[in-house]
Amino acid sequence: MGQEAAYCLSAGVQVRREKFGLLFYDYRGPRLYFAPTRDLIQEGFFGGQVTVADLTGEICGANGGWPRKIVQGWIERTLETLVGKGLICEQSVC
Amino acid sequence: MSNPYVDLGLSAPVNVSWEVTFACNLSCLHCVSDSGPKRNGELTTEECRRMIDTLASMKVFQVNIGGGEPFLRKDFLDLMDYAHQKGIVTCISTNGTLIDDQIAGRLDNGLVYLQVSLDGARAETNDAIRGEGSFRSALRALECLSKRGLGVSINTVLTRLSFPELDQLEGLADSFGAKFRVSRFRPSGRGKANWSELSVSKEDLLLFSEWLSRHQQVSTGDSFFSVSHEDRKSLGLNMCGACKLTCCVSPLGEVYPCAFLQEKEFLAGKLPQDSLQFIWENAPVFHSFRELEIRSCESCLRFDFCHGGCPAMAYHTQRRLGLPDPECLANCVTRLPVTAWRHETGDHCGPGSSGN
């Protein structure tokens, strides 16, 4: 998983914001997945345009003082889980 | 433990059951909405379009369409097109009588799932519940839908008549490349009058529970968490989703906790006068449902599997919410001699103190 990677929703998957974070719905199941991301990742991130580096910068910027390395690690683990569950896929940014 | 994220309260339902008309060309003995002729006051086309706008703006993921027979509405396919344009996934429950190649073609857009109702693997069994000729019509619909590769399942309500034919029904579904789904019979709508004649015995529910464990590919929606063993825990919800994950809209625009509780005392609001978002967030009926605790079940060994079961079952059989589901597995096994439930359940669980 590179810092320049961007992600989009897999076919048949929708997402919306909730108090705890993001709620994914996979039509192929159908099944739900609750991602406790609080307000750190917005649904718009999964439009395939924003990179992991951008998101890391945004989160660190909005939460002054958060260590970049820790934020980056959290984002990577979160995205890996979502990829592993087939909810999102990596997209190359042109 | 229930789902902590759901307990925080969701901003909108995950799915909404929408009964689009009371009109039906069949007269099934177990019909939950007592459908027949179209009734005065059903939502107009424009009101339905506005409701779809609301569902889309609330980001409701899926709408489960039922009735009556949805395809009897002249504007039904246009409404579905409108919902799909907005990205809403629909699951349509139909008796199949009106489905032909042309309709199947119109639905072939990747956002539709269809459930064709069939209550027996033989015409004789099915038609005894659903009416003369309904078996043949359903098979014709399944053929049209499966030919196009549409997502389709056979949906069977578990009754005394359908129970002995579950294996054949599963085989029939397989022959059409369809999934097989079993739904719970509840004593609401026309089901009230036919409850004693059609409901399965506690002994058969135990056998059905074992059958489900052997048939993991068979889906049950939210119908049978009350009798499912641990091995099915990952296949679906283990709690009632009414007012937490879902709600129901009647053909008249009335909003209820679920399709099986369409009773005056559970009316939460009415569209289009009230907004669905407002009802979801504020209706006292919905709030009280979210706070509903079936305390007498809390010490049961199976509590984590079912959280007290289906409140609609408790209401329809005992006229009160907050009581244990009378057909939960623990209630079933306590009706049998100890040796029988040990044999039947393989000691997965014992009879809990479910307060019956």
3-state secondary structure of B270: strand
CA distance A28 to A7: 19
B271 close to B51: Cβ distance less than 8 angstroms: yes
Tell me how close the Cα of B222 comes to any Cα of chain A, in angstroms.
Answer: 12
Distance from CA of B2 to the nearest CA of A (A): 13
Q: How many CB atoms lie within 10 A of CB B46?
A: 10
Report residue B345's pLDDT band, with 50, 70 and 90 as the boundaries.
very low
**Residue A87: partners with Cβ closer than 8 Å, 6 or more residues away:** A9, A10, A13, A15, A24, A26, A33
pLDDT confidence tier of residue B305, bands split at 50, 70 and 90: confident
| Coil, helix or strand at residue B219 | strand
CA B118/CA B139 separation, integer angstroms: 9
Residue B334: predicted pLDDT: 65
Token reading at B196: 């004693």
Residue B200 structure tokens: 């399965």
Bond preceding residue A84 cis, omega within 30 of 0: no
* Distance in angstroms (rounded) separating the CA atoms of residues B174 and B80: 27
Chain A residues with a Cβ under 8 Å from any Cβ in chain B: 12, 14, 16-20, 23, 25, 27, 30, 32, 34, 36
Residues of chain B with Cβ-Cβ distance to A18 below 8 Å are 5, 8, 10-11
- For residue B206, give the 3-state DSSP assignment: helix
Residue B177: left (phi > 0), alpha (psi -120 to 50), or beta?
A: left
pTM (two decimals): 0.90
Instruction: Give the whole-angstrom CA distance, residue B201 versus residue B35.
Output: 26
- The partner residue sitting opposite B14, judged by closest CB among A12, A25, A36, is A25
CA angle, B222 as apex, B81 and B351 as ends, to 5°? Answer: 175
**What is the ipTM, given to two decimal places?**
0.91
Residues 6+ apart with CB under 8 A from A3: A51, A52, A53, A56, A72
- Which chain A residue shows the shortest CA-CA distance from B236? A31
Rg (CA), chain B: 20
pLDDT in tens, B7-17: 999 999 999 99
User: Are A32 and B14 inside 8 Å of each other by CB?
Assistant: yes
Distance in angstroms (rounded) separating the CA atoms of residues B38 and A18: 38
**Whether the Cβ atoms of residue B281 and residue B299 lie closer than 8 Å to each other:** no
Measure in Å the smallest separation between the Cα of B165 and chain A Cα atoms: 26
Across B34-38, B168-172, B340-344, least confident range: B340-344
For residue B55, pLDDT beyond 80: yes
Chain A CB contacts of B8 under 8 Å are 18-20
CB B153 within 8 A of CB B116: yes
Q: What is the pLDDT of residues B322-338, one digit of tens each?
A: 888 888 888 777 655 44
Report how far residue B207's alpha carbon sits from residue B201's, in angstroms, rounded to the nearest whole number: 10
CA distance to partner chain B, nearest, from residue A36 (Å): 8
Inter-chain residue contact A14 with B11, CB threshold 8 Å? no
